[in-house]
Amino acid sequence: MKPFTYERVSTAAAAAAAAAANPGAKFIAGGTNLLDLMKLEIEAPTHLIDVNATGLDKIEPTAEGGLRIGAMVRNTDLAADVRVRRDYPVLSRALLAGASGQLRNKATTSGNLLQRTRCPYFYDTNMPCNKRAPGSGCGAMDGISRQLAVIGGSDACIATHPGDMPVAMRVLDAVVETVDAAGKTRSIPMADFHTLPGDTPEVETVLKQGEFITAVTLPAPVGGRQIYHKVRDRASYAFALVSVAAIVQPDGTGRVAFGGLAHKPWRVEEAETEMPNGARAVTARALADADPTGDNAYKLSLAERTLALVLAEAKE
Amino acid sequence: MTAAPRPHPVPTGTSVRLTVNGQPADLVLDPRVTLLDALREHLQLTGSKKGCDHGQCGACTVMVNGRRINSCLSLAVMHDGDEVTTIEGIGTPDALDPMQEAFVSHDGFQCGYCTPGQICSAKAVLEEIRQGIPSHVTRDLEHVSFSDDELRERMSGNSCRCGAYANILAAIREVEERA
């Protein structure tokens, strides 16, 4: 690990101010991803701002009938919250499909949104990677890419977002709440929060330097059968090859987002009009622009079949 | 306009007060020291093991404020005021914890390297089920109950390269059935 200085802050405003004052700083909450990357010197902040004591660890009802989830709410607590289990089960299921019990006890809501890719070329510092070292090239394109993106990638990067929770947040139309050093707040819909790699794959979200996530807000519950189905290389504790977060209403209409396919949770609202016509009709539209490699073309049929399974389960 | 990042600073000692197995411990640490290294190298509590050092194997599992975490993926300075329980705080050679006793009687280990993490995790798993915290294999999110499938899923963050899994499962099941 590269040396860094360390401070604890007790308010969101102080966190944003500390980050604005120090361009080499990173926030640390659970730290389960950041410290992993710091040990490999893939992340090398010069200053860490510990935001665990900011008091943002509550889940509260909103005036609109939804829930406001504090940024520091741990994955375990969010998945187990009785309101989330009852009204947003796709979110509980997505959280429980991720990581291990130990990690979920530590990992936070905001940190989960900011997880970095598990692309093996991002992790291997002997290899080129435009995300880790902009301009160095991409080792994955002609390398082993079975885990990587099939849609929304660029000539610079075909990494995927590794998260499960964000896929459920996307299908639930969640909104990310932030504050900056000037005290200005911003509400960023999940649809806009994560970015595609383009020619700046090192940029993964629309957050500005020093902008601090305070909460994620869920709209009022929409009901329906809510299912999260994750396909992975082993039964537990592995990242998704493909995952499907779906909300299916009794008349067959609904919403669907995919994980494991792109640099962000993948949802194409126009494709959802095909939900009553079955999985093939939905994925034909949602994944129409796919550009897979030879290694990962299997993800297209896997996504369709996983959605077919989910739609069948929703009818039970 | 953002200023250029500062160069990497010379690390300075940061004070942290932990309570480890009921005993206060005041330390001044380089902020890079993980909770695991603080326990092993600074407090000589070498029961918690360093396996992968990346949160994948679970050998470093300890309890912090009653919840299991990977101590390798946390900085010690992030735990000011926290209560840490390691394997040294669970039973003694003369008076084993029921979980330790069950691991012995079921041969829940071979080389023993992962065992402290397995035991910390196993005790926490039974408590999580008791608290009604659901898991990936919980059929009905609102009704959590004990089963072998629940144990397998909840223990997936603890690897055992000797492959003692079947006996680990039997040991944990026995503790649950006796409770």
Confidence of residue B1 (pLDDT cuts 50, 70, 90): very low
A243 in reach of chain B (CB within 8 A): no
First to last CA, chain A: 51
Coil, helix or strand at residue B1: coil
Q: For residue A269, what are its two tokens?
A: 């609202």
B112 and B170 share one domain:
yes
Residue type, A297: A
Check: CB of residue B11 under 8 Å from CB of residue A3: yes
For A126, what's the count of Cα atoms within 13 Å in the CB-facing half-sphere?
0
In a domain, B105, yes or no: yes
Model pLDDT, residue B5: 60
In a domain, B162, yes or no: yes
CB < 8 Å to A39, chain B: 53-54
Query: Of B83, B43, B131, B102, which is closest to residue A79 (Cα–Cα)?
Result: B131
> Which of B89, B117, B141 is at the close of a domain?
B89
Model pLDDT, residue B3: 53
- Shortest Cα distance, chain B CAs vs residue A73, angstroms: 14
- Shortest Cα distance, chain A CAs vs residue B44, angstroms: 22
Q: Alpha-carbon Rg of chain A, whole angstroms?
A: 19
**CATH code assigned at B59:** 3.10.20.30
In a domain, B5, yes or no: no
B8 in reach of chain A (CB within 8 A): yes
A208 in reach of chain B (CB within 8 A): no
Model pLDDT, residue B11: 75
Of B5, B32, B68, the CB nearest to A1: B32
B152 in reach of chain A (CB within 8 A): yes
B70 in reach of chain A (CB within 8 A): yes
Look up the domain containing B172 and give its range. Answer: 98-178
B102 and B85 share one domain:
no
- The pLDDT tens digits for A38-52 are 999 999 999 999 999
Q: How far apart are CA A244 and CA A93, in angstroms?
A: 11
Q: How far apart are CA A14 and CA A259, in angstroms?
A: 34
Compute CA distances B59 → A51, B38, B39, B70, B114, whole Å: 27, 15, 13, 8, 5
Q: In 10 A of CB A41, how many CB atoms?
A: 10
* Alpha helices (runs of H) in chain B, residue ranges in sequence order: 35-37, 98-105, 115-130, 148-154, 165-178
Model pLDDT, residue A111: 98
Percent of chain A with pLDDT over 90: 99
Q: How far apart are CA A134 and CA A128, in angstroms?
A: 9
Phi, psi of A140 (to 5 degrees): -80, -35
In a domain, B1, yes or no: no
- Whether the per-residue pLDDT at B7 is higher than 90: the answer is no
Residue type, A311: L
Q: What share of chain A is helix, strand, coil (3-state, %, to 5)?
A: 30, 20, 50
Query: Of B151, B141, B142, which is closest to residue B174 (Cα–Cα)?
Result: B151
Residue A246 CA, chain-centre distance (Å), reads 16
B123 and B165 share one domain:
yes
* Beta-ladder partners of A47: A5, A25
Check: CB of residue B60 under 8 Å from CB of residue B102: no
- Shortest Cα distance, chain B CAs vs residue A216, angstroms: 22
- The lowest-confidence range among A3-12, A15-24, B7-16 is B7-16
A31 in reach of chain B (CB within 8 A): yes
> Which of B38, B62, B89 is at the close of a domain?
B89
| ipTM value for the complex | 0.96
B75 and B116 share one domain:
no
Of A5, A32, A235, the CB nearest to B9: A5
Coil, helix or strand at residue A11: coil
Residue type, A298: Y
Outline where DSSP puts E strands in B21-151: 23-29, 61-64, 67-70, 83-85
Of A32, A52, A89, the CB nearest to B55: A32
B103 and B83 share one domain:
no
Model pLDDT, residue B4: 59
Compute CA distances B15 → B12, B64, B105, whole Å: 10, 18, 42
With CB atoms and an 8 Å threshold, state whether B8 touches A31. no
In a domain, B6, yes or no: no
Q: How far apart are CA A175 and CA A167, in angstroms?
A: 13
Helical pair B115-130 and B165-178, crossing angle rounded to 10 deg: 40
In a domain, B130, yes or no: yes
Check: CB of residue A158 under 8 Å from CB of residue A141: yes
With CB atoms and an 8 Å threshold, state whether B5 touches A24. yes
With CB atoms and an 8 Å threshold, state whether B157 touches A47. no
B120 and B173 share one domain:
yes
B69 in reach of chain A (CB within 8 A): yes
Averaged over A110-131, what is the pLDDT? 98
A250 in reach of chain B (CB within 8 A): no
- The pLDDT tens digits for A136-195 are 999 999 999 999 999 999 999 999 999 999 999 999 999 999 999 999 999 999 999 999
Compute CA distances B58 → A80, A172, A274, whole Å: 22, 32, 44
Model pLDDT, residue A292: 98
B77 and B122 share one domain:
no
Give the helix/strand (H/E) hosting A185: strand A185-189
Model pLDDT, residue B10: 78
Q: For residue B57, what are its two tokens?
A: 């194997």
Of A79, A101, A235, the CB nearest to B154: A101
Scan residues 76-105 of B and list those with Cβ closer than 8 Å to A.
Answer: 77-78, 80
B18 and B64 share one domain:
yes
Averaged over A252-266, what is the pLDDT? 98
In a domain, B2, yes or no: no
B105 and B47 share one domain:
no
With CB atoms and an 8 Å threshold, state whether A28 touches B78. yes
> Which of B37, B64, B89 is at the close of a domain?
B89
Q: How far apart are CA A241 and CA A257, in angstroms?
A: 14
Outline where DSSP puts E strands in chain A: 5-8, 25-28, 47-50, 59-61, 67-70, 175-179, 185-189, 212-218, 225-231, 242-248, 254-259
Q: For residue A111, what are its two tokens?
A: 């940190």
CB < 8 Å to A37, chain B: none
CB < 8 Å to A76, chain B: 67, 133
Strands of the A25-28 sheet, one edge to the other = A5-8, A47-50, A25-28
Of B8, B133, B153, the CB nearest to A236: B153
- Whether the per-residue pLDDT at B2 is higher than 60: the answer is no
Of A5, A31, A99, the CB nearest to B78: A31
B113 and B161 share one domain:
yes
Of B3, B61, B132, the CB nearest to A102: B61
Phi, psi of B60 (to 5 degrees): -95, 5
Question: Domain count of chain B?
Answer: 2
Q: Which residue of A has its CA nearest to B73?
A: A32
CB < 8 Å to A100, chain B: 55, 58, 156-158
Kindly compute the dihedral angle of the four CA atoms of residues A43, A48, A54, A59, in this order, to the nearest 10 degrees.
10
Model pLDDT, residue B56: 96
Model pLDDT, residue A187: 98
In a domain, B111, yes or no: yes
- Token pair 């590794």: residue: A162
**CATH code assigned at B139:** 1.10.150.120
With CB atoms and an 8 Å threshold, state whether B142 touches A105. no
A277 in reach of chain B (CB within 8 A): no
Averaged over B122-145, what is the pLDDT? 97
- Shortest Cα distance, chain A CAs vs residue B95, angstroms: 27
- Shortest Cα distance, chain A CAs vs residue B119, angstroms: 13
- The pLDDT tens digits for B70-116 are 999 999 999 999 999 999 999 999 999 999 999 999 999 999 999 99
Averaged over A68-83, what is the pLDDT? 98
Query: Of A192, A204, A216, which is closest to residue A110 (Cα–Cα)?
Result: A216
Phi, psi of A98 (to 5 degrees): -105, 145
Q: How far apart are CA A126 and CA A114, in angstroms?
A: 24
B58 and B103 share one domain:
no
Residue-averaged pLDDT of chain B: 95
B110 and B160 share one domain:
yes
Coil, helix or strand at residue B17: strand
- Whether the per-residue pLDDT at A235 is higher than 60: the answer is yes
Model pLDDT, residue B9: 83
Averaged over A215-220, what is the pLDDT? 98
